[in-house]
Amino acid sequence: MSRNPLLADTAARAARYVDAVRERSVVPSQDAIARLDALGGALPEDGEDPGALIALLDDVGSPATVASTGGRYFGFVTGGALPATVAANWLATAWDQNAGLFAQSPVASKVEEIAAAWLLDVLGLPSSSGVGFVTGATMANFTALAAARHWLLKRAGWNVEERGLFGAPEITVIVGGEVHVSLLKALALLGFGRMRVITVPADDQGRMRADALPALNDRTLVCIQAGNVNTGAFDPAATICAKAREANAWVHVDGAFGLWAAAAPQRAHLMNGFAEADSLATDCHKWLNVPYDSGLSFVRDAESLRAAMSIRAAYLSQGDNREPCQFTPEASRRARGIEVWAALRSLGRRGLAEMIESNCRLATRFAAGLRSAGFAVLNDVMLNQVMVSFGNAEKTRRVIAEVQNQGACWCGGTEWHGHTAMRISVSCWATTEEDVDRSLAAIVRIAGT
């Protein structure tokens, strides 16, 4: 028996939560949410027993969670957490490693290096790319775009890290009509501005229209997308990357979830041409199914990533080992590469392909079930995203609200080219055919009343 019963007791509580999560309502009850006040009150003068407060947190907190890791949560684009990744996260948290520097955590640095090489392999990206382990796709976009900014301005004779953007040569930023809002936020944070982008129109599936691309030059940054958040569609990367290469422009890819199609042989054609891009961003807490918070930046010219992220201090010497903080905005941080390593090692190449493929098959099953019940599926379902209308906007909104309220499953709403739609994203490792059929039955029943 451990001399640390707190951790053993907490592990037992966590295991009970995970065992039960598949069967409970996906949303917490109003009562459970109201009971959260029990966690508050005045700050205690004297410290409380950790075992007691963990018991309180479990008793009051667990019922007020959204069961997003349980297999019937289809909101936004939300993965679960594979068992191996939760366990690896616990161990790494107990280690309490600072993953900023090799000297602070040789294991964190080494595991990142190993996972980075596996990722580049399984995603079909150049093996010499720089890889940054960041908090999510927003920061992955930010980090990769900072590398783009460095490279484009360096070739224009401007050192942006030293001199900033005031007086710098202008960079033209191109986005598609269906650009994700988080990419615009990243552009804003980098001083590119949300409004001064050139927006290229998108087609009926949300793909950037390559024929509408303006002339590119060596001061152009083209931001494309692998996986539209509503339809799952991919921009025509091969054509765009070829044009950009000719013009010496930089192509960045927001592939928050779509990038993982590269890991599944039957979907890999969707990623055709994307490996030619200069930088790519993705999430691990979405389709790789690791705990929050976890995203990745990939930059073909690793030196540009390092130059954009580097910090200078005499005590941060650079040896032969990977210094994780040279690839990310953060210095001190948790060892999030450990869960990525655990996911890849527990799945293997085949398991990863099957997890992605299975989610795509289940999305197709959803679409078929909804169509056969008489409802209109609004997108070509070729990945994991399904959009459905239940008639007019008012009815669709009512169905979404009622589905969310009843808790058999959870689906969000969206607007798509003038239609109000329910959006279903199948992104969780735990989702089964039975989960889809149960969810379909609930949705069809609600929509039929």
Least distance to ligand PLP from the beta carbon of 228, Å? 7
**Should residue 69 be labelled a site residue for ligand PLP when binding is judged by CB under 6 A?**
no
Q: Is 112 a residue that touches ligand PLP (CB under 6 A)?
A: no
Q: How far is the CB of 422 from ligand PLP (least distance, A)?
A: 17
* Contact window for ligand PLP (CB under 6 A) among 112-120, 145-153, 251-259, 430-438: 251-259
3-class DSSP state for residue 252?
strand
C-beta of residue 334 within 8 angstroms of C-beta of residue 320: no
Which residue lies nearer to ligand PLP by CB, 153 or 200?
200
Interstrand relation of 250-254 and 279-283 (parallel, antiparallel or unpaired): parallel
270 binds ligand PLP (CB under 6 A): no
Task: Considering only the stretches 36-44, 95-103, 130-138, 375-383, report the one whose residues sit in contact with ligand PLP under the rule CB under 6 A.
Answer: 130-138
Does the footprint of ligand PLP cover residue 295 (CB under 6 A)?
yes
Q: Side chain identity at 434, as an amino acid letter?
A: E
Smaller CB separation from ligand PLP, 121 or 415? 415
Q: What residues pair up with 131 in beta bridges, in sequence order?
A: 298
CB of 446 to ligand PLP, least distance (A): 26
**Binding of ligand PLP by 425 (CB under 6 A):** no
**How many residues interact with ligand PLP (rule CB under 6 A)?**
13
CB of 188 to ligand PLP, least distance (A): 14
Is residue 180 within the footprint of ligand PLP (CB under 6 A)?
Answer: yes
By beta-carbon proximity to ligand PLP, the closer residue of 125 and 288 is 288
Regarding 182 and contact with ligand PLP (CB under 6 A), the answer is yes
CB 84, min distance to ligand PLP, A: 21
**Whether the bond into 293 is cis, omega within 30 of 0:** yes
What gap in Å lies between CA 359 and CA 367, rounded to an integer? 12
SS3 31: helix
Q: Which of 256, 355, 399, 426 binds ligand PLP (CB under 6 A)?
A: 256
> Is residue 75 involved in binding ligand PLP (CB under 6 A)?
no
Residue least distant from ligand PLP (Cβ): 136
Residue 232 touches ligand PLP, criterion: CB under 6 A: no
Which stretch of DSSP H or E encloses residue 253?
A: strand 250-254
Q: Which is nearer to ligand PLP, 130 or 136 (CB)?
A: 136
Instruction: Confirm or reject binding of residue 254 to ligand PLP (CB under 6 A).
Output: yes
Binding mask 131-170 for ligand PLP (x = CB under 6 A): -----xxx--------------------------------
Of 379, 362, 83, nearest to 354 by C-alpha is 362
Can you list the alpha helix ranges (DSSP code H) found in 176-236? 181-189
CA distance linking residue 200 with residue 289, whole number of Å: 32
Longest Cα–Cα distance of the chain, Å, equals 69
CB burial string 93-103: b at 16+ within 10 A, e below:
eeeebbbbbbe
Record the tokens describing residue 438, joined without a space.
């149960």
**Contact status: 235 vs ligand PLP (CB under 6 A):** no
> Residues 356, 358, 363, CA angle at the centre, nearest 5°?
100
Q: Is 77 in the site for ligand PLP (CB under 6 A)?
A: yes
| Residue 178 engages ligand PLP in binding (rule: CB under 6 A) | no
Q: Among residues 158, 134, 154, 156, which one has the least CA distance to residue 144?
A: 134
- Closest separation in Å from C-beta 227 to ligand PLP: 6
- Closer of 307 and 383 to ligand PLP (Cβ): 383
257 is a contact residue toward ligand PLP (CB under 6 A): yes
Residue 18 CA neighbour count, 13 Å, CB half: 14
CB of 303 to ligand PLP, least distance (A): 25
- Whole-number Cα distances in Å, 14 to 89, 90, 164: 13, 11, 47
Give whichever of 81 and 101 is closer to ligand PLP, judged by the CB atom: 81
Interacting stretch for ligand PLP, rule CB under 6 A, among 154-162, 252-260, 270-278, 340-348?
252-260
- Measured distance CA(71)–CA(26) in Å, rounded: 9
Q: Which is nearer to ligand PLP, 97 or 228 (CB)?
A: 228
Distances (CA, A) of 75 to 230, 286, 412: 11, 11, 5
Distances (CA, A) of 243 to 170, 251, 297, 352: 20, 10, 23, 32
CB of 36 to ligand PLP, least distance (A): 24
- C-beta of residue 336 within 8 angstroms of C-beta of residue 81: no
Question: How far, in Å, CA of 267 to CA of 274, rounded?
Answer: 13
Q: Does 283 bind ligand PLP (CB under 6 A)?
A: yes
Interface positions with ligand PLP (CB under 6 A): 77, 136-138, 180, 182, 227, 229, 254, 256-257, 283, 295
